[in-house]
Amino acid sequence: MVDGATRDGYGAGLVELGTSNPNVVVLDSGVSDSTRSKKFGDKFPDRFFNMGISEGDMVCTAAGLAQAGKIPFATSFACFLLGRSMDQTLVSVAYSNTNVKLVGTHSGLAVGEDGPSAQMIVDIAYTRAIPNMTVIQPADWEEARQATIALANYKGPAYMRLGRSNVKGIYDPKTYKFEIGKASVIKQGSDAVVFATGSMVEETMKALEQLGTEMNVTVVNVSTLKPLDEATIIDQVGKNKIVITAEDHNRIGGLGDAVCEVLMNHQICKPFKRIAVNDTFAETGSASELYEKYGLSANHIVRALREVKA
């Protein structure tokens, strides 16, 4: 297992793609060192385009490159990528169904000290609601690397959400195989199931360490948020008594709502609780401080499991 930020796994995946697929091109909007797209640019400068602080132009250029047969990865901080290019994303990428991969890094409260204007907590809601858009959020370095390669082989618009902070490695590169549209059962239990995504997978595993033998908890990594792996969700809800969702995102429009939709559509009723940002802006602080204050830390997951069990 490789410890590291998912943005670093993305950079490694891009370099692999640059070697194996000459049609892959990468665009960035002036933050390539931070997003790790610079790793691709350093090795393949003729296929790397630094568009400057002009995210709308970057997305439209990516759409044009896709129409010309290229496989473009358009990269920036999540708050800038979607916040400044929604019209271009809707029309030039999604409506036109172009083969553009949008990659937003530094997402959620985990971006920490950059403050609330940079803490993108609504991007899953944005992108899940866009027709034709696939939405991916890897949980660790290895999954991010594999997801990057998988997206290059996938035909159609996609958004991948990545983090700045280092996370503990979960997957063994020798045995794990990422698939778009498939959730991953990390641990099987019978008392409760936690559907987690992104950095909240690590927080969930920390929560299990705190619980010890108190509860037998299933952990499911939902790395594809659209299309959702409904079969795994239904199966795991059936095997457990309690349902928890965990995400570094606003509680409205994210993973919690997505899982609720599945349960409602299939008329499944189980005790349910969401771990998410409670429809509020945060403030400047470290990721761990913000996770604790705004209800996302392992401590809050433990508390939620105990409250619902009671």
| 3-state class (DSSP) for residue 235 | helix
Pick from 32, 36, 37, 111: nearest CA to 79:
111
Residue 228 has pLDDT above 90, yes or no: yes
113 catalytic residue (yes or no)? no
pLDDT in tens, 266-290: 999 999 999 999 999 999 999 999 9
Location of each CATH 3.40.50.970 domain in the chain: 6-161
Phi and psi for 99 in degrees, rounded to 5? -85, 60
Single out the catalytic residue among 16, 55, 113, 247.
Answer: 55
What pLDDT does 1 receive?
Answer: 83
Q: How far apart are CA 42 and CA 39, in angstroms?
A: 5
Entry pTM: 0.96
Token look-up 């429009």 returns: 253
| 3-state class (DSSP) for residue 230 | helix
Q: Which CATH class is domain 6-161?
A: alpha beta
Q: What is the mean predicted confidence (pLDDT) over 234-256?
A: 97
Residue 310 has pLDDT above 70, yes or no: no
For residues 73 and 25, is the Cβ–Cβ distance under 8 A?
Answer: yes
Residue 309 has pLDDT above 80, yes or no: no
Longest CA pairwise span in the chain (Å): 60
What pLDDT does 114 receive?
Answer: 85
Contacts of 261-266 with CB under 8 Å at 24 or more apart are 262/228, 262/230, 262/233, 262/234, 263/233, 263/237, 266/230, 266/234
pLDDT in tens, 101-157: 999 999 999 998 888 889 999 999 999 999 999 999 999 999 999 999 999 999 999
Location of each CATH 3.40.50.920 domain in the chain: 184-309
Angle at 178 (CA atoms; ends 174, 184), nearest 5 degrees: 100
Q: What is the mean predicted confidence (pLDDT) over 61-90?
A: 96
Q: What is the mean predicted confidence (pLDDT) over 148-173?
A: 96
Q: What is the CATH number of domain 184-309?
A: 3.40.50.920
